[in-house]
Chain A
Amino acid sequence: MLDFSRTYDVLVVGGGNAAMCAAIMARAKGASVLVLEHAGQSFRGGNSRHTRNLRVMHEEPTSQLVGSYLEEEFWEDLKRVTNGHTDEHLARVTIRGTTSAVSWMSQCGVRFQPSLTGTLSLSRTNLFFLGGGRALVNAYYATAQRMGIDILYDSEVEALEIDHDVVRSATITWRGFPATVKAKTFVAASGGFQANIDWLRQYWGDAADNFSIRGTPYAQGKILRNLLDQGVASAGDPTQCHAVAVDARAPKFDGGIVTRLDSIPFSIVVNRDAERFYDEGEDFWPRRYAIWGWLIAKQPGQIAYSIFDSKSAELFMPSVFPVIEAPTISDLAAKLGLDASRLNATIDNYNSAVQKADFNPQILDHCATQGITPPKTHWARKIDTPPYRAYPLRPGITFTYLGVKVTDRAQVLMNSGRTAKNLFASGEIMAGNILGRGYMAGFGMSIGTVFGRIAGEEAAAHALN
């Protein structure tokens, strides 16, 4: 039972990777630490529970990583994917910070494994957690408990009261009851707002109702909103979020990795009107999957259908949901609720535009269509071998970019340009400083781990001073 009259040295808002890294670091420095996790124990860990790796800089091969991945290459990769929407200094702090993070993670009980099957391209840059993100979260919680960190589940922080650049207290709801918690310093690690449909609706209108949120339903952005409303400076584009194509049958929240679909380059994709709307074979799938969420979000009803025939059935990872199958295109259209004559026309049109060439899923094979708009520039084969198959697609939102502005010591910056005296931030709530746009596999966990550690260390130093 928690003593609410106690003043903790460090109060950590959130219970994901960044929060636990901060909590453990602060406790290791001797601070008393309270972690307030909105979720119950079963769903603790925010979006970290759906992750599987982090991107690390390394100068030579390690037990789980091949080759080397040096700071400059890492930085160039980041610069490219963000299109310059980044902060070079903070980015380099993160990149360098990953080198020492790995052994520290091991000490915290996190285990690693070789890159997973089908992710060979990441075997040089990304270190995979054995068992995935939930196993990592478990390791951190076990370490936190061993170190004597107090953890409260089912505890939503509603507000941090800022007064003259100082956070005085936290207003929380604990198991449905209001309470106030005092601490000397605060670490905001409560994630983005991607699970807050009303907030998404501000930028996307009613389309937001048709989004599937791939991760935790607890990322409501409550503290982010609260801080921004109190004069905290923001970072990252508020209108953006990372979105991929997921199976339309995915649950509204928490579908995680298994709902994503890799069938698009080997199929044609039509909208509700049975019309194609984008080049499905534009580039290798890992280079294109992140645009398909938005492409579908812009279609009527935010729904699309990836349609292929039995030739392509085994070219991609199996989906968790059953493929929709029919002996004819008309039957398939009926099952999908599409206009049969229109779908037949679209496919006939596409088939007659397909040119003879050597299909090869491993390369940009230039099997392209001719004379249709939009074209399909690679892997275009006739859809003519029944049974015909389809997956329904919706936009799946991974994370939002808007966050609070921070210094390289994880101190939160106010609009005035001053730093909040006792407020630090780590993880998704400040990732927009560094990843202002785009996506780079495993980099969110890199930011969370590095800035989580910095925030914990700084918060403890501030509190114990």
Chain B
Amino acid sequence: MHSTDAIIEARRQAEVCNACRYCEGYCAVFPALERRRAFTNSDIAYLANLCHNCKGCYYACQYAPPHAFAVNFPKVLAEVRHETYAAYAWPRAFAGVFERNGVIVSLAAAIIVTVVLVGVGWLQDPDVIFGIHTQPGAFYAVIPWSVMGGLSAVVFLYSMLALVMGFVNFWRDTGGRASELADITPLAQTASDVLSLRHLGGGGHGCNDRDESFSTLRRWLHHATFYGFMICFASTGTAWFYDTFLNWMAPYPITSLPVVLGCVGGIGLIIGTAGLFWLKLVSDQEPTSRRLLGADVALLMLLGTISFSGFLLLGLRATPAMGTLLALHVGLVLAFFVVIPYSKFVHGVYRAAALLRNRLELRNSTAPQRVLPAKPADKGETAEIFSASAK
């Protein structure tokens, strides 16, 4: 990771934190910080991705602006975090897409949806597009399975490869070795950290989602988004399984597993993304970086729109609107697949990687990293402290 203004500023603030340490009960970032005396660029990149942006430290900080030290750790780490997305992007040539990510993701989505809509309109017979299809394989009458599945699979596999390469870049940069990935315990602990959002709890009583007050709303909304997404993914997987192995083609009945999963996941995604978007609008702007809002909103909107279009398609699949809605839904999903490695979505990869690094560090830190100043074993600071008499 190269030096940037944000990294230099984050390092300055981390040094204040390391001399203060009042926040070590909030999350994993501060204990990780305390395991170091100096901070390389890669250390800062790691800490930035370990931060879940709960903002507890900002409101507790005696050095927050307008104090001269101007410590605003959540904000500067968010800025560094965003820079790491570019720094670790694969291939390197695409790093620039994180520069104005909100615009680029939105434009990419708009273009891809348009291309799919225009393509279907151009290549497909209007009678087919606007016809009513309810038979097995009805969707493939509008967009052939080979096109829909083939295109999605190619794009998806590419995006997964790009994510893996991003992870590799992060891992190497933060001093990781491949052999570290072989140990099952830290991996399992990391999975638990990710699935529970353990560090999005502000040390147990909630985060500063909106302002000084504490809540667990953001954690729950993220859970709704994350699990909603995973359930939708499971829905797609089930449908693929039915189609490939049972030769049972979509559309599936309302009570079938793919539809039920899709509905549950879709509701989760809509609630989660809408809620997270709302939180971004109403929350205190001081500990956030306004210029990063676009990237967040673009991904949230895309995921929400996919879910919404999915419900529209489900509701109107027996009407002449099905063809158009299918093209819209497929276009949005395809757009999402395309932007996966070049959008805010990557935060999940680097967050998980940072959590894994944290678990490995915890396991390896058997001895204290520094020798503490000697302490009397008995009375601690109470013992014989007195101020010399004046003059």
A residues in contact (CB < 8 Å) with B? 42-43, 49-50, 52, 77, 80-81, 83, 111, 113-114, 116-118, 120-122, 124-125, 128-135, 138, 142, 203-204, 237, 239-243, 251, 254, 256-258, 262, 265, 283-291, 293-295, 314-320, 361-363, 437-441
Contacts and interface: CB of A to CB of B under 8 A. Distances in A.
B386 A132 contact: no
A287 B19 contact: no
Contacts of B64: 42
A258 B20 CA distance: 5
A240 B382 contact: no
A86 B212 CA distance: 38
A265 B373 CA distance: 9
Given A52-B22, A130-B25, A361-B373, A81 B16 contact: no
Interface of B: 15-16, 18-26, 31, 34, 37, 56-57, 59-69, 203-205, 212-213, 370-377, 379-391
Contacts of A77: 379, 382
B371 A42 contact: no
B24 A258 contact: no
A207 to B, nearest CB: 10
Contacts of A294: 387-388, 390
Given A116-B24, A290-B386, A135 B59 contact: yes
Contacts of A439: 385-387
B35 to A, nearest CB: 10
Contact of A117 (B19, B34, B61, B212): B34
Nearest to A286: B381
B57 A131 contact: yes
A203 B390 contact: yes
Nearest to B23: A131
Nearest to B376: A284
A116 B24 CA distance: 7
B380 A125 contact: yes
Contacts of A129: 22
Given A285-B374, A315-B371, A42 B66 contact: yes
A121 B34 contact: no
B376 A287 contact: yes
A10 B34 CA distance: 44
A286 B203 contact: no
B59 A138 contact: yes
A320 B15 contact: yes
Contacts of A265: 373-374
Contacts of A287: 376, 381, 383-385
A330 B249 CA distance: 84
Contacts of A125: 380, 382
A291 B19 CA distance: 21
B209 to A, nearest CB: 14
Nearest to B34: A117
A130 to B, nearest CB: 5
Contacts of A254: 62, 67-68
B247 to A, nearest CB: 58
A363 B204 contact: no
Nearest to B378: A121
25 contacts: A111-B205, A116-B21, A116-B22, A121-B381, A129-B22, A130-B25, A131-B26, A132-B23, A135-B59, A138-B59, A142-B213, A256-B62, A284-B373, A284-B375, A285-B374, A286-B376, A286-B380, A287-B383, A290-B386, A290-B387, A291-B387, A293-B387, A315-B373, A318-B15, A318-B18
A314 B387 contact: no
Given A142-B213, A440-B382, A284 B370 contact: no
Binding site secondary structure of chain B: loop
B19 A318 contact: yes
B372 A118 contact: yes
Contacts of A116: 21-22, 24
Nearest to A292: B388
A118 B373 CA distance: 8
A242 B386 CA distance: 9
Contacts of B18: 318
Contact of B60 (A81, A138, A142, A241): A138
Nearest to A48: B62
A215 B99 CA distance: 41
Nearest to A256: B62
Contact of A131 (B56, B383, B390): B56
Contacts of A81: 382, 384-386
B62 A50 contact: yes
A293 B391 CA distance: 12
Contacts of B391: 203-204, 239
A83 B385 CA distance: 10
A138 B202 CA distance: 15
B236 to A, nearest CB: 42
Contacts of B62: 49-50, 132-134, 254, 256-257
Given A77-B379, A111-B203, A286 B385 contact: yes
Contacts of A49: 62
Contacts of A256: 20, 62-63
A63 B1 CA distance: 41
A446 B170 CA distance: 47
B9 to A, nearest CB: 15
A256 B203 CA distance: 23
B219 to A, nearest CB: 17
Contacts of A285: 373-374
B203 A130 contact: yes
A440 B373 CA distance: 18
A441 B26 CA distance: 23
A317 B19 contact: yes
Contacts of A203: 390-391
Given A121-B380, A316-B373, A320-B15, A437 B386 contact: yes
Contacts of B56: 131, 135
A256 B25 CA distance: 19
A117 B389 CA distance: 32
A240 B389 contact: yes
A314 B375 contact: no
A116 B68 CA distance: 25
Which residue, of A124, A254, A258, A314, has the highest number of chain B Cβ atoms within 10 A? A258
Given A121-B381, A132-B60, A284-B373, 9 more contacts: A42-B64, A113-B25, A116-B24, A117-B31, A131-B23, A138-B60, A258-B20, A294-B388, A320-B20
A320 B16 contact: yes
B371 A314 contact: yes
The 9 A-B pairs of least Cβ separation, nearest first, read A121-B380, A131-B60, A132-B22, A113-B25, A258-B19, A135-B60, A294-B388, A239-B390, A320-B19
A283 B376 CA distance: 9
Which residue, of B26, B31, B384, has the highest number of chain A Cβ atoms within 10 A? B384
Nearest to B25: A113
Nearest to A290: B385
A24 B31 CA distance: 34
B15 to A, nearest CB: 6
